Structure 1
Amino acid sequence: MATRELGTIETDVPARLDRLPWARWHWLIVIGLGTVWILDGLEVTIVGNLSGRLSEPGSGLDITQSQVTGIGGALYVAGACAGALFFGWLTDRFGRKKLFLITLAVYLVATAMTALSFDAWWFFLFRFLTGFGIGGEYAAINSAIDELIPARFRGRVDIVINGTYWFGAFAGALLTVPLLTALPVNVGWRVAFGLGVVLGLAIIIVRRHVPESPRWLFIHGRNADAERLVDGIEREVEAEKGTTLPPARGSVTIHQRRSTGFVEIGRTLFRRYPRRAVLGLALFIGQAFLYNAVTFGYAQILQTFFAVPSGHTGYYFAAIALGNLLGPLLLGHLFDTLGRRIMISGTYLLSGVLLFVTAWLFGIGALSAVTMTACWCVVLFFASAGASSAYLTVSEIFPLETRAMAIAFFYAIGTAAGGITGPLLFAKLVGSGEVSQTVVAFCVGAALMTAAGLVAWFLAIRAEQRSLEDLARPLSAADPDAPTTTQLGRA
């Protein structure tokens, strides 16, 4: 049983993790933790593309398409916000590993129960609980990823991992086509949700082998466990590379603690780092409105304005998902080379401007279902990299003791502002059947993305290839108020 005797220690664990070359061990982290976003993409896309079929007679549910995309979408996001806050606090208190296993289990049970829905209220309840599990995943997973991945790779890895959401969306879009066209109306949508359970079970088997964050361990009185874990990682990497690792440079002195209170967390986020707090809120609100509105409502646009059959909307959404997936894959490395400020502000601003252009073309009747989808592919190519950078940003610019809670807070507040109102407003405006009303929905999303890009231009932190402890000293550090390069600069 691990001991938890608290004291003052000097540790070079962060420096040892940051100087590691990329190795097979890091792929274990990427696969074990990153693949959960595939589940989230699968979930949201399935619901969006199933909305038309769920509202048809004989589906087994007495529900309308607007209720699926509007109420169902908003409840899913509300659950994610609540789950992020609840599990985010537990993640900082009890560790990354315990919580990223628990949150995935919550998702699996809730998704399975969604597949068994027999009435609208049951469907809505378990959409909320599915979101509850996914929200907890965001806090636990992003904390662990940033604390385990070397600083020089952190940006691209985090961007790409969060971008894998769109691989799930791509798969979900294509899966819904045969499920909706080949299976009975009351069976296909249930099988679609069941597939998410199967994938989740496979992920939880891999995830059991992902270790606890050594950074969390040494903060919470388990320095010996952290040392043993990093020793094992170094031996594994040296054996794989056939070389001896160079000495680590740099250490930090820590006054260990068992937990961090809400008052201290709030004071840290808003009194010690107010500009970073504004940045986090702006990025999350912009991307949350755009993405939740589009992912829950695009099938409704295709059916309402272009008469695309409900069973074929998946083809169009697959194209959008592919554009989203390519954005992080092709642009991710630039966040570590060109830098955070240029890439975060650039991706938000470009996607906002391009969406304004798309809204104008749609408003004058210049788009078909195919060309509308092509426009969204281009918009979301940039927006997806920007949206992923929101999670990267809030997970790396606040102290270790507050990391999961910071991710949870900004995700919850930003997503509540944009992700709950987005689907409701989008469903109402698109449901009107009027082109002008849908143009308004597009323009709101474009304006929020553009505003977030401007905020990032002025407030983004130059975090590329820098250690987490340099960006924000741990609250437990012997010198927590020691200025870093970032603090002396624009933070």
Structure 2
Amino acid sequence: MARDQLVVLNALDVAKTQLYHFTAIVIAGMGFFTDAYDLFSISLVTKLLGRIYYTKPGAPKPGTLPPNVAAAVNGVALCGTLAGQLFFGWLGDKMGRKKVYGITLILMVLCSLASGLSFGSSANGAMTTLCFFRFWLGFGIGGDYPLSATIMSEYANKKTRGAFIAAVFAMQGFGILAGGIVALVVSAAFDHAFKTPTYHENPAASLAPQADYIWRIILMFGAIPAALTFYWRMKMPETARYTALVAKNAKQAASDMSKVLNVEIEVEEEKPLLSLTTTGP
């Protein structure tokens, strides 16, 4: 390892905890927040999906998702997550954390919106398109999940690295909580606006046509926190550890970190190689 690379790494390890460290926690943590919301909000709407698309006229009870459909709707995003982790993890080492971070975020925003816009009036059409978009949503989450932790780790100093990474992971719990809150608020708002009798009182009139909007709004809401943090993610410079160790540009790493952290990193100017030739007597 070159001397300049060691200088950059040592300066980051001993840097004092500063405001930008907490900014990085929020920016990276919002990735975990969005990941958790998108992954776990589907479990809050599966009962409604069964009620809307699988209720048979005259049946004694409201419909529910068949076991195979329920497994697909709930699990397809996790399959995408596995594939996304492998692909974007490799791509992050090739292209850099910042570029791939932006790609995964855009993919998450688009697929969150597309999941809510799943088309098809039949059960097969709606569930098939929902599973398709949920897979690609999971693919984006699979890239965002490890990159958020990696970026926080590469920004943090040696003393507080564990605590900062734990703070980023803690945002996952807030994402799950937000999913429950959004589902309650949206459901309560529709219930207040469109009063219907219970299923046992009047099965035919117990489900308002507008109920189909509820699960779509809940799923699409996941695009909002991702979109709000996109600007700040793109303003973050590439992590110095990546620039110094992988891109092998210690001077650029020192310049990037000096813009956001109050650290002094002195690296030597690169000296051009001299070609020596000898001439005969």
Name the TM-score class by shorter chain.
Answer: 0.7 to 0.9
TM-score between the two structures when normalised by the length of structure 2 = 0.76
CA contact (8 A) 2:89 2:146 kept: yes
Rg (Cα) greater in structure:
2
Q: CA deviation at 1:181?
A: 3.8
1:25 corresponds to: 20
1:215 corresponds to: 241
CA distance in 1, matches of 2:75, 2:29: 25
Q: Does 1:225 align with 2:252?
A: yes
CA distance in 2, matches of 1:38, 1:155: 19
Counterpart of 1:15 (choices 10, 18, 27) is 10
Q: Does 1:200 align with 2:226?
A: yes
* Counterpart amino acid of residue 112 in structure 1: L
Residues 55-454 of structure 1: matches in 2 within 5 Å?
55-57=50-52, 64=65, 66-67=67-68, 69-118=70-119, 119-183=126-190, 184-219=210-245, 220-234=247-261, 237=262
Q: Kindly tell me: are residues 200 and 212 of structure 1, through their superposed partners in 2, closer, same or farther at Cα, counting changes over 3 Å?
A: same
CA contact (8 A) 2:85 2:143 kept: yes
CA distance in 1, matches of 2:54, 2:231: 33
TM-score between the two structures when normalised by the length of structure 1 = 0.45
* Counterpart amino acid of residue 172 in structure 1: G
CA distance in 2, matches of 1:86, 1:189: 30
CA distance in 1, matches of 2:260, 2:175: 30
Q: Kindly tell me: are residues 168 and 24 of structure 1, through their superposed partners in 2, closer, same or farther at Cα, counting changes over 3 Å?
A: same
Q: CA deviation at 1:30?
A: 1.1
CA contact (8 A) 1:51 1:68 kept: no
- Report Cα offsets for 1:397-416 as digits up to 9, x if no partner: xxxxxxxxxxxxxxxxxxxx
Q: Kindly tell me: are residues 63 and 128 of structure 1, through their superposed partners in 2, closer, same or farther at Cα, counting changes over 3 Å?
A: farther
* Greater relative CO (CA pairs within 8 A, separation 6+): 2
CA distance in 2, matches of 1:15, 1:107: 35
* Counterpart amino acid of residue 167 in structure 1: F
CA distance in 2, matches of 1:217, 1:192: 39
Q: Kindly tell me: are residues 181 and 23 of structure 1, through their superposed partners in 2, closer, same or farther at Cα, counting changes over 3 Å?
A: same
- Report Cα offsets for 1:93-149 as digits up to 9, x if no partner: 111100111111111111111001121110111111010000001232222111111
- RMSD over aligned CA atoms reads 2.5
CA contact (8 A) 1:175 1:192 kept: yes
Gaps of 5+ in 2: 56-62, 120-125, 191-209, 268-281
Q: CA deviation at 1:231?
A: 3.0
- Report Cα offsets for 1:297-317 as digits up to 9, x if no partner: xxxxxxxxxxxxxxxxxxxxx
Give the secondary-structure state (helix, strand or coil) at the position aligned to 2:211.
coil
CA distance in 1, matches of 2:129, 2:54: 14
- Report Cα offsets for 1:20-76 as digits up to 9, x if no partner: 12111112211222211111221133211111111113699x971645642122211
Q: CA deviation at 1:157?
A: 1.1
CA contact (8 A) 2:35 2:145 kept: no
CA contact (8 A) 1:48 1:69 kept: no
CA distance in 1, matches of 2:145, 2:52: 36
CA contact (8 A) 2:8 2:250 kept: no
- Percent identity reads 23
CA contact (8 A) 2:52 2:212 kept: no
Give the secondary-structure state (helix, strand or coil) at the position aligned to 1:55.
helix
* Counterpart amino acid of residue 42 in structure 1: Y
2:34 corresponds to: 39
Q: Kindly tell me: are residues 224 and 47 of structure 1, through their superposed partners in 2, closer, same or farther at Cα, counting changes over 3 Å?
A: same
CA distance in 1, matches of 2:259, 2:181: 42
- Report Cα offsets for 1:224-277 as digits up to 9, x if no partner: 21121233344xx37xxxxxx7x99xx9xxxxxxxxxxxxxxxxxxxxxxxxxx
CA contact (8 A) 1:37 1:168 kept: yes
Q: State how many pairs are aligned.
A: 233
* Counterpart amino acid of residue 110 in structure 1: C
